[in-house]
Amino acid sequence: MLSVRSLSRLIGQRAVVSEVSFDMAPGEIVAVLGPSGSGKTSLLRMIAGFDAPTSGSVHLHGREASAAGRVLVAPEHRVLALAFQDATLFSHLDAVGNAAFAIRATDKTSRLEKARAALRDMGLAGMDGRDVATLSGGEAQRVSLARALAADAKLLLLDEPFGNVDRLTRIDLVSRLKARLANGLGAMIITHDPADAIELGARVLLMRDGRVMADGSHETITAGQRGDWARSFLLAGHIAGTAQHS
């Protein structure tokens, strides 16, 4: 489904992403972790088609989507859905209209029903006519995730989707997202919290200074099979996350 080959991006003289290569199978869940400034969001932006790589390539669904200095397939044609830490809802649409935004069905009734179903899956019902300006932060994030899940996409790209919600909301959203991903939809999730990877059963890509330092299961990395730094980073993050969420 996704193949990244020797992907690099330079900003000035600094390599924000450096020689990153990996493959994702259809339906796979991958959590990208790493310190601030490690290149996580820069990697996601190249996969989404927002930025062109300086070198290397991105292949999506068997097609070259980006190559050195070029975005060959525009973001809106990559069959992706995205959600970010900031919900970025459209103020001129109500909650249901936001959730329906990326649904390609031409029949309005079908689009709205699919959007309502996605909102219910994220814990929201009866949202017709609800002005997004009246939503709490947690409700706005639920709408944002519902919009991504309702889209006709083969891969979700989620950038810190639980970063701005409280502990109980995070627990609920992780559980609901896991249930939806069980249907075979692939997802790449950028997160600072190793607990997200554990609870979603995700494969971990651990980045540092623009490079992938470890690639494997959380258990494999914390067992020390991908190096001491990777083990220490995940263990320290898990302890901090446990304290934060308790």
What confidence tens digit (pLDDT) does each residue in 99-127 have? 998 888 678 889 999 999 999 999 999 99
Give how far Cα 136 sits from Cα of 15, 19, 149, Å.
38, 40, 20
Paired strand residues for 14 = 11
E strands present in 152-195: 155-159, 186-190
pLDDT score for 209: 95
Domain range summary for the chain, segments of one domain joined by +: 26-53+74-245
Average pLDDT, stretch 208-228?
92
E strands present in the chain: 2-11, 14-24, 29-33, 55-60, 63-67, 70-71, 80-84, 155-159, 186-190, 203-208, 211-217
Dihedral sign computed on CA atoms, order 155, 159, 164, 170: positive
User: CA-CA-CA-CA torsion for 52, 56, 61, 64, nearest 10 degrees?
Assistant: 70
* CB count in 10 Å sphere of residue 241: 17
Long-range contacts of residues 113-118, Cβ cutoff 8 Å, at least 24 apart: 114/150, 115/146, 115/147, 115/150, 117/150, 118/146, 118/147, 118/149, 118/150
Q: What percent of the chain has pLDDT over 70?
A: 96
Q: Residue 212 — very low, low, confident or very high, per pLDDT cuts 50/70/90?
A: very high
Angle CA 136–142–146, to nearest 5: 145
Q: Using only C-alpha atoms, what is the Rg of the chain? A: 18
Q: How far apart are CA 242 and CA 246, in angstroms?
A: 6
For the entire predicted model, the pTM comes to 0.89
pLDDT score for 56: 98
Asked if pLDDT for residue 246 goes beyond 50, the answer is no
Query: What is the chain's mean pLDDT, rounded?
Result: 90
Does CATH place domain 26-53+74-245 in 3.40.50.1370? no
Asked if pLDDT for residue 134 goes beyond 80, the answer is yes
Strands 63-67 and 80-84: unpaired
